[in-house]
Amino acid sequence: MKRLTIALAGNPNCGKTTIFNNLTGARQKVGNWPGVTVEKKEGTIKRNGYELNVVDLPGTYSLTPFSIEEIAARDFILNEKPDVVVNIIDAANLERSLYLAMQIMELDRPVIFVLNMADLAKSKGITIDAEKLSALLSLPVIFTVGNRGQGTDLLVETAIKEALAEKKGKEARRVTYNREIEALIREIEASIDETGLNLESWPRRWAAIKLLEDDQVVEENLAAMEEGRVDEVLAVAERSRSRMEEFFNDEPEIVLTDERYGFIAGIVREAVTVSAEKRADISRNIDLVLTNRFLGFPIFIFFIWAMFQLTFSLGVYPMAWIDTGVTLFSSVLDTLLPQGMFKSLLLDGIVAGIGSVVIFLPNILILFFCIALFEDTGYMARTAFLMDRIMHTVGLHGKSFIPMLMGFGCSVPAIMATRALENRKDRILTILITPFMSCSARLPVYIVLAGSFFAERAGTVIFGLYATGIVIAILSGRLFRSTLLKGEDAPFVMELPPYRVPMFKSLMIHMWERSKMFLKKMGGVILVGSIIIWVLSTFPRDPAVSARYADDISRVTLEYTRSMAGADPVLKKELALEVETRVSALEKERDKELVANSFIGRFGRVLEPVFAPVGIDWRAGVALVTGLVAKEVVVSTMGVLYGVGDDEADALNHALRNSGMTPLSALSIMVFVLLYIPCIATVSAIWKEASAQWAVFNLLYTTSVAWSLSFLVYQGGKLLGFG
C-alpha cells in the first residue's frame, strides 16, 4: 500500500485539531517533536488505496522563527517534505489567516486551502468565491464545517489528488513581490548557484527571501556549512538588505511583511464579499455577559465551582461501582490464595495500593471532560482575558494564566508551555508559581479526605483548595516580582476565538488523551510505589509481636468457645459475632504495631516532630514524602499504612475515620498536598526550563509555604475550637 504524509497547518483556534480528530479519531499517537518539547500528534488512516500519515502541526500565526512552535512547524515542512500541506483557514477571518498561508506557499510544497467554519462566515454575511480564490492561487480550495464533520471526505480526496499532481510535475503558484524586491531575490539566488552552496532540503527561492529578511536561524545554519563560499552569499544578502533599506526607507522584514499583506489584500478584494446587513454576532453578544468587567469574574468562579462540584457528586456513583469491584476482587483472592508472604504482597500491597487510587478514574475523566468543554467552546481563552487585570498585580499578563490553567491538568506540560512567553523573567516567574495550581494528580487525595470528613460539602471544600492555590500563586508572584524578578509589566493582546458548539467525539478524544496519563501511572509508578511501601511497612518482622497477639487471639477464641457450650442458638450467634469483632480488633492492633516497628514506621517517627505541629501523624507524613514521586502515591501509601481491609466497601474512608484523624487535620493534609511541589517530574521540568538553582529554590519554597499554611490552618482551627 502506498504511503502519503499530510501535514495540517493553521492558526490557533481555526478548528485544526477538530479536523485532525475527525480524520484520525482514536487512530492517533501523541509525542514530542525531536529535540523540542512541543506536542506532536500523528494519526494513520487508509483511504482510496493509500495509507495516509496525518501530522497535526502546532498552531501558529506565522513561520517566523520566534517561538518554538513556529520553528517546529517550519522545520517539519522543510525537512520532512510532507506530500501535501493542508492549510486550515478560519473562513470568518480569511485576511488574517492568509499571512501564514503565504509563508507556507513559499516553502515549495503542494498546498490545499481548507476554509473551515464556513457556516460561521456565512452567519457574518461573508461570501468567499472558492473558484476565484483557487484560480488566483493555483491551488485547490474547499469548504468544511469541522464541528459537524462536513467536508472531511472531500479534504482527503483533494489532498491525495494534489499530492499525486505534484509528483507528475505540477508547479505551485508562488507569492510575488514588487519588481525591486524580485530583482534582489534573484540576485541572492544567483549567488547561491555561483558559489555551489548545497541547501539540501531548503527551496532556493525561500532561502533567498529569508536571507533578505535577515532570518537569524537561516543565517546561522548557512554559516555552519563548510562547503561552498558561504561568506560570499551572506555578503550578497547583506548588500541586498542595505539597498532595500535605502530604497524603501524601512527595514527589509517590514517591507516584505507589507508586501505580503498587499498581496493578501488583492486576493481578498477579488474573492471575498461582505453583505451590508450582517447577522447578529452571537459570540460578541455572549461576550457582553461572560467578559463583562462586573459579571465576568463571578461567572468564571461559578463555572469552576460547578466543575468541581460535578466532579465530586457525579463521580460518587461510578466510584462506588469500582470500589465494590475492588472489594469483590480482594475477597476472591483472599479465598483462593493460601496464607503467606505472596498473599500479603498481593492483597495488602498491590491491591490495597492500586485499588485505593483506581476508584478515582471517574473523577479524573469528569474533570478532563469539563476542561475539554471549556477549551472546545472557546471559553478558555476568555479566562485569560478575565484574569489579565489580576495577573497584572503579579507583574504578568493574561497570557501567563494559560500555562497556569494547564496546570489544572499536569504541571509538567504547563511549565513547558511557558516557552510561548517572550520575556525570560516572565517565563521564570510563571514557572515558579505554576506548581501552586492544583494538578489532577492531587484530586484523588482531596476526594478521599474531603469525602471522608466533609461529606456533602466535599465539592465546595475541593473548590476552595483550587481557589487557594490560585491566590497563593498570585501572592507568591507579587513577592517574586518585587524582589527576585523585578521588571515591567508586559502588554497583552490576545485573540478571542468565536464560541463554538463542541463535538461530542472531540470532547471524548481530549478527555481520554489526558486521562491515559492516569492509567499509565497505575501500571508504573503507583504499582512500583505500592510494592516498595509494602516492603518497607512489612519488614523487619517482629516475631514477638506476632506471637503475643496470636496468644491473645487464642485466649479470646477459647474464652468464647467455653461460653458457647450449652448456650441456645440465638446466644451462640451473638457470641460468634462478638468474638469475630474482638479478633478483628486484635488483628488490626497487631498490624498497626507491626507497621510502627517496620522500616517505614521508624522513618515515620523521625518525621513525626516535623509534621506534628500541623496535625499530621507519622503515617500521613510518610505518605506526603512518597507523594514527591507522584501525588497519586499519597493515596496508595495511605491505603497500605492505614490497614485498608478487604471485606468492606469504602475501606480507606472507614480506616481514616477510625485512625484518630480529625476534619481539621484532614484539611491540614489537603492544604499541604495543594502547596508543596507536585512531583519529581515537575522539579525536573523546572530544572530544564529555568535552571538547577530555580528548581531547588522552588522545591524549598513550595514546601516551606505548604508547612506554614498547614500550621496556620491546624493551629488556627484549634484556637477557634475546631480541633
pTM value > 0.85: no
What is the tens place of the pLDDT at every residue in 548-567?
A: 888 888 888 887 777 777 67
Residue segments in the chain with a per-residue pLDDT below the cut of 50: 32-37, 277, 279-280, 645-649
- What is the reported pLDDT for 84? 93
One domain for residues 138 and 64: yes
One domain for residues 350 and 230: no
Q: Give every CB contact of residue 244 below 8 A, 6+ residues apart in sequence.
A: 180, 181, 184, 212, 252, 255
Q: Which three cell numbers stand for residue 118?
A: 464556513
Q: If DSSP codes are grouped into helix, strand and coil, which group holds residue 177?
A: coil
- What is the reported pLDDT for 476? 93
One domain for residues 185 and 135: no
- What is the reported pLDDT for 495? 61
One domain for residues 396 and 418: yes
One domain for residues 141 and 201: no
Last residue of a domain, one of 448, 480, 506: 506
Residue 127 lies in a domain: yes
CA distance 343 to 363: 30
Checking phi first, is residue 200 left (phi over 0); if not, alpha (psi -120 to 50) or beta? left
CATH code where residue 192 lies: 1.10.287
Work out the end-to-end distance of the chain between its first and last CA atoms, rounded to an integer number of angstroms.
Answer: 71
- What is the reported pLDDT for 37? 46
Structural domain containing residue 143: 2-167
- What is the reported pLDDT for 111? 92
Last residue of a domain, one of 233, 248, 263: 248
One domain for residues 118 and 236: no
Q: What's the one-letter identity of residue 314?
A: L
- What is the reported pLDDT for 634? 85
Q: If DSSP codes are grouped into helix, strand and coil, which group holds residue 145?
A: strand
- What is the reported pLDDT for 420? 66
- Cα angle 35, 627, 523 (rounded to 5 degrees) comes to 65
CA distance 109 to 174: 11
The closest of 129, 156, 162, 232 to 190, measured between CA atoms, is 232
- What phi and psi, each to the nearest 5 degrees, are found at residue 113? -100, 125
- What is the reported pLDDT for 35? 47
One domain for residues 218 and 352: no
Residue 195 lies in a domain: yes
CA distance 57 to 12: 11
Q: Which residues pair with 4 in a beta bridge?
A: 52
Q: What is the DSSP letter of 150?
A: B
Do 321 and 359 contact (CB within 8 A), yes or no?
no
CA distance 390 to 50: 52
One domain for residues 160 and 82: yes
Residue 54 lies in a domain: yes
Number of domains in the chain: 3
Q: What's the one-letter identity of residue 182?
A: E
CA distance 126 to 64: 29
- What is the reported pLDDT for 647? 40
- What is the reported pLDDT for 572? 75
